[in-house]
């Protein structure tokens, strides 16, 4: 799965790194929240969608703000005690009732600098070592996601929400976990955002040789810890 990310770039840096996308006003409002070293579900993040925005001369791809945790447009209300899904498995996504409509026509890029994953040391679920994962180049990159626009019937608030697509792990990730987020190559960004209904071949493990990972302190487990030293390497738990 993928349940934590980090963005050490400023929002302005992300705009430059993903110059294929224009800016929507809602994304600009996030500028004072970045960098973000411990991004978690329910928080708002910048994503890139291909959509017509109701502003003059603004068309997708475009940066927008969205909340992590997908709520399908057809859902009448959220269910107490049942949080929206933060991940969608690539296997079966085109037929899964929760995700298929968004996958077919509302795919997105999720720009980040890296993500976190936990290795279950002894297979008990009680002793886990967190790792930070990034590109060897240190450059920001994009996860594959899907998004929805949902209207809260109680407040009539429009909420844009997203989730991350996952796939089987590459050789590096397989040493710590049995899933990884789908990472897209830069040359595939436009195709992922295109009207093509099922770009299934893009949802595959990213080459391990282009990635790096390192053990970090367990304080990353608390979202209250949101400082740069979260990324400092540490000795792994034996």
Which pLDDT tens digit goes with each residue over 197-238? 999 999 999 999 999 999 999 999 999 999 999 999 999 876
| Domain 5-231: CATH superfamily, name plus number | SOS response associated peptidase-like (3.90.1680.10)
Output the pTM of the full model. 0.93
Span 28-36, mean pLDDT? 76
End-to-end CA gap in the chain: 23
CB 65 within 8 A of CB 53: no
CB 141 within 8 A of CB 135: yes
For residue 38, the surrounding DSSP H or E stretch is strand 36-39
Nearest to 207 by CA among 179, 175, 176, 173: 173
Percent of the chain at pLDDT above 70?
Answer: 89
Percent of the chain at pLDDT above 90?
Answer: 70
**Mean pLDDT over all residues of the chain?**
90
Span 165-180, mean pLDDT? 97
For residue 104, the surrounding DSSP H or E stretch is helix 100-105
Span 18-39, mean pLDDT? 80
Span 166-188, mean pLDDT? 97
Nearest to 42 by CA among 66, 7, 75: 66
Which carries the bigger pLDDT value, residue 214 or residue 120?
214
| Geometric angle at alpha carbon 204, from 63 and 135, rounded to 5° | 60
Which pLDDT tens digit goes with each residue over 69-107? 999 888 876 766 678 999 999 999 999 999 999 999 999
Residues with catalytic annotation? 2, 117
CB 78 within 8 A of CB 36: no
In the prediction, which pLDDT does 9 show?
93
| Residues forming a β-bridge with 150 | 159
CA dihedral 70, 165, 230, 117 (to 10 degrees): 120
CB 93 within 8 A of CB 165: yes
């Amino acid at each position: 799965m993928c349940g934590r990310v980090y963005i050490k770039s400023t929002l302005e840096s992300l705009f430059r790194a993903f110059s294929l996308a224009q800016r929507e006003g809602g994304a600009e409002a996030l500028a004072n929240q970045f960098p973000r070293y411990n991004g978690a579900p329910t928080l708002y993040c910048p994503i890139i969608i291909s959509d017509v925005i109701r502003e003059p001369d603004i068309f997708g791809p475009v940066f927008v703000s969205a909340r992590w945790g997908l709520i399908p447009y057809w859902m009448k209300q959220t269910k107490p005690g049942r949080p929206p899904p933060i991940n969608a498995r690539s296997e079966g996504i085109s037929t899964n009732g929760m995700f298929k409509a968004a996958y077919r026509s509302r795919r997105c890029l999720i720009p980040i600098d890296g993500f976190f994953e936990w290795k279950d040391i002894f297979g008990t679920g009680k002793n886990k070592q967190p790792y930070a994962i990034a590109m060897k180049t240190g450059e920001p990159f994009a996860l594959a996601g899907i998004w929805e626009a949902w209207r809260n019937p109680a407040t009539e608030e429009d909420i844009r929400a997203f989730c991350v697509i996952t796939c089987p792990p590459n050789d590096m990730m397989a040493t710590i976990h049995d899933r990884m987020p789908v990472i897209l190559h830069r040359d595939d960004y436009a195709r992922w955002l295109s009207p093509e209904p099922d770009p299934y071949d893009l949802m595959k493990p990213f080459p391990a040789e282009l990635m790096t990972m390192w053990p970090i302190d367990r304080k990353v487990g608390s979202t209250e810890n949101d400082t740069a030293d979260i990324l400092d390497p540490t000795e792994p738990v034996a």
